């Protein structure tokens, strides 16, 4: 368990560097995938709901402090996201979760909830179309993140085939 905690913190920083330097280059129509979500869902599915919730909070805190975003907003959204991802934790179905379409689906769900939550927290002006806003800021980046999360599925499948 201690190893797992160490990994989850150590992996966060290089991924945040990639997220803030390289990922903006592959944005499609303003939709930027969130690699931190993939990492959080991975650890939440491996270690359970409590772990996911606390890890989400820690990731959110670090993200807010480091990137200068609205302090507390990412903390809240990532905490919820870790909680939701942890809900799908099942010790007997760990492999199944990672090797099937379930993983990208959970990522999509979490990313959408995260983006919607973040939008609600930081968005004061709802005079523009709310549904469109939720689609553009919630679903689109969520779908993009979900597509990228297939990398984890492929990685797990390959690893187990050796």
Partner 1 sequence: MRRIFLIFWESFKEYIVLVVLIVVSLTALSFNQNKAVKNVRAAAFGTFALVTSVVSDFINVAKIKNENEHLAEMNAELMLQINQLRQYGIENRELKSLINLKDSTDYPLIPATIVSKSLTGAQNSLTLNVGTNAGVRPGMPVITDKGLTGIVFSVSDDYSIIRTLKNQNLKLTVKNERSRINAVMKWNGEYLVMINVPKTYDVQPGDRIITSELSSIVPIPIPVGVVVKLNNVERGIFNEVIVKPFVDFIRIEHVFILGIVESRQKNNLELNFYNRK
Contact residues toward partner 1 (CB under 8 A) are 13, 16-17, 20-22, 24-25, 27, 30, 32, 49-50, 53-54, 57, 60-61, 64-73, 75-76, 79-80, 83, 86, 115, 118-119, 121-125, 127-129, 132-133, 136-137
Residue whose C-alpha is closest to residue 31's, from 111, 103, 109: 111
Q: Would you tell me the crossing angle of helices 2-21 and 35-47 to the nearest 10 degrees?
A: 170
Q: Shortest Cβ distance from residue 131 to partner 1 (Å)?
A: 12
Q: How many helices (H) and strands (E) does the chain have?
A: 9, 0
* CB-based burial label for 120 (10 Å; 0-12, 13-18, 19+): middle
Q: Shortest Cβ distance from residue 14 to partner 1 (Å)?
A: 9
Q: Shortest Cβ distance from residue 161 to partner 1 (Å)?
A: 32
- Cβ neighbors of 96 (< 8 A, separation 6 or more) are 102
- Which tokens sit at 146? 């979900």
54 versus 102: smaller Cβ distance to partner 1 = 54
104 versus 141: smaller Cβ distance to partner 1 = 141
43 versus 156: smaller Cβ distance to partner 1 = 43
Q: Shortest Cβ distance from residue 156 to partner 1 (Å)?
A: 25
């Amino acid at each position: 368990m201690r190893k797992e905690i160490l990994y989850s913190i150590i992996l966060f920083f290089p991924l945040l560097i990639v997220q803030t330097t390289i990922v903006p280059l592959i944005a499609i129509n303003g939709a930027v995938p969130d690699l931190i979500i993939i990492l959080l869902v991975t650890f939440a599915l491996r270690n359970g709901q409590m772990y996911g919730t606390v890890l989400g909070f820690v990731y959110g805190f670090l993200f807010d402090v480091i990137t200068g975003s609205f302090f507390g907003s990412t903390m809240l959204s990532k905490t919820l996201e870790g909680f939701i991802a942890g809900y799908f934790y099942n010790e007997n179905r760990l492999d199944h979760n990672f090797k099937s379409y379930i993983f990208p689906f959970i990522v999509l769900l979490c990313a959408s909830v995260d983006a919607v939550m973040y939008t609600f927290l930081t968005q004061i002006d709802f005079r523009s179309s709310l549904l469109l806003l939720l689609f553009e800021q919630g679903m689109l980046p969520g779908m993009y993140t979900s597509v990228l999360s297939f990398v984890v599925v492929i990685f797990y499948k390959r690893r187990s085939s050796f």
